[in-house]
Amino acid sequence: MKTSIVIKKGLSSDMRFDLKDGAGSDAVHTSPVYAYAVCRLVTDSNLEGVGLAFTLGSGNKIVCQAIEYLVRHVEGKEIYELMSDFGTIYKKMADDPNFRWLGPHKGVVQLALAAVVNACYDLWAKAEGVPLWKLLTSLTPEQLVNTLDFSYYEDILPKYEALDLIKKQQAGISSRESIIETGYPGYDTSIGWFNYSDEKIITNVKMAMDRGFTAMKLKVGSKNAAHDIRRAELVRRIAGDQATIMFDANQQWNLPQAIDICTKLKDLNPYWIEEPTHPDDVYAHIALAKAVDVPLALGEHVPNKVIFKNFIQSGCMTFNQVDAVRVGGVSEFILISLLSRKFNIPVVPHVGDMGQIHQHLVLFNHITLGHPALLLEYIPHLREHFKSPAIVKDGKYLTPMEPGMSADLLKHEYSL
């Protein structure tokens, strides 16, 4: 018999972190401030659920206010009871009549939803005394689908089909569990931020390889194609032909520009090109995929399961970069991962959480859903702020063992 744990109160914290020396700079943000809108669930026990949504800059405050409203849906609830039918409460929060017009299912209210949902999963895992990956991989298929909201997936992945898909993967679980011992491969996302000099990029590429990374990502997205291509060639030259290299344009090209530059970048044999154009533009990505035969990685800024459904149906998404601190938390992340599995599109998450939560989720995706264990983004810029920072050795994430989803921060208050 499990001890009842009741959520007494939901709080929010607006946490912002300055990055140093151009780290985090991309084609949109020259001097980024990373920010977490944090939901904290205080309980009648000594456990606290902590959920993150990631943003950039002072708008983070607004997400915190939305959290403070939304969290009333889970206040007063017992955690095991809540999670036994979480899909229902998820839908209620996502469709709250006071917030629905502000979305639906996108922008500030969706980010707030992510923080609240993630705090519930964190509390659940802490209540069980296990890391999130362990909790999720231990659920029965029925328990798992009951945490999901299948609304608007009836035409493509109804609940019974999801259940079937999960059950079919059970045969391979024991062999896939070896990943817990070997660790999950990471890639270095910090070799070439947008503002970095050539010298710094060269140093970083060498350092990444010394640390055991065989995959790394460069920020592109300049309006000047020659500038992007020169830097990309530099990385390929230093890293060598065998290295796995990705280019990230952060949505900065329009379609004609994207076709032009991707055609040129293709010659450098990228593993993917990321966010080439506006993240809402399904048709532009289809046109790009037809025009240039290069793998596209998409999803960092896709806000919800419905737009993911469209991208997945469109056939232009080679890699799915769904982020559990951008869509409606772990619940929606799992649903999108399920659909992606059905269409055989690998999930390679964007990590607004700096990989803290996603190190759990990719283990679950691999072990339970049968996704290939490809790569998880590694971005260490906030590691000193986490209680249990992710550990990467020889280019691999070591399996986290602390209870919860590794999202606890050292302070409740932090501002610039």
* Residue 105 engages its own copies in binding (rule: CB under 8 A): yes
- Please report, for residues 72, 106, 410, the alpha-carbon distance to residue 9 in angstroms, rounded to integers and kept in the order given: 8, 25, 20
Return d(Cα 54, Cα 160) in angstroms, integer: 33
- Please report, for residues 134, 270, 301, 315, 349, the alpha-carbon distance to residue 360 in angstroms, rounded to integers and kept in the order given: 8, 27, 21, 28, 11
Do 182 and 394 meet the contact criterion of CB atoms below 8 Å apart? no
Return d(Cα 405, Cα 416) in angstroms, integer: 26
Stretch that binds its own copies, among 7-15, 22-30, 377-385, 393-401 (CB under 8 A): 22-30
Stretch that binds its own copies, among 55-63, 115-123, 240-248, 373-381 (CB under 8 A): 55-63
* Residue 279 engages its own copies in binding (rule: CB under 8 A): yes
The site map against its own copies for 228-257 (x = CB under 8 A) is -----------------------x--xxxx
Check 219, 305, 309, 371 and give the catalytic one.
Answer: 219
* Residue 276 engages its own copies in binding (rule: CB under 8 A): no
Q: Whole-number minimum distance, CB 227 to its own copies, in Å?
A: 20
Q: Which of 82, 109, 229, 336 binds its own copies (CB under 8 A)?
A: 109
The site map against its own copies for 135-154 (x = CB under 8 A) is ----------------xx-x
Q: Which of 263, 314, 318, 388 binds its own copies (CB under 8 A)?
A: 314
Stretch that binds its own copies, among 93-101, 138-146, 202-210, 356-364 (CB under 8 A): 93-101
* Residue 222 engages its own copies in binding (rule: CB under 8 A): no
Do 183 and 399 meet the contact criterion of CB atoms below 8 Å apart? yes
Residue 345: DSSP 8-state = -
Is 350 in the active site?
Answer: yes
Q: Whole-number minimum distance, CB 115 to its own copies, in Å?
A: 13
Number of amino acids touching its own copies (CB under 8 A): 59
247 φ, ψ (degrees, to nearest 5): -120, 135
Return d(Cα 345, Cα 152) in angstroms, integer: 20
DSSP bridge partners of 187:
377
* Residue 344 engages its own copies in binding (rule: CB under 8 A): no
Six-digit token string for 331: 């619940």
Do 118 and 330 meet the contact criterion of CB atoms below 8 Å apart? yes
Return d(Cα 92, Cα 316) in angstroms, integer: 32
Return d(Cα 330, Cα 120) in angstroms, integer: 9
Is the previous residue joined to 276 through a cis bond, with omega within 30 degrees of 0?
no
Q: Whole-number minimum distance, CB 270 to its own copies, in Å?
A: 22
Q: Which of 4, 18, 44, 59 binds its own copies (CB under 8 A)?
A: 59
Which residues bind to its own copies, rule: CB under 8 A?
Answer: 28-30, 32, 54-59, 61-63, 65-66, 69, 95, 97-111, 151-152, 154-155, 251, 254-257, 277-284, 287, 301, 303-304, 306-307, 309-310, 313-314
Residue positions annotated with a catalytic role: 219, 350
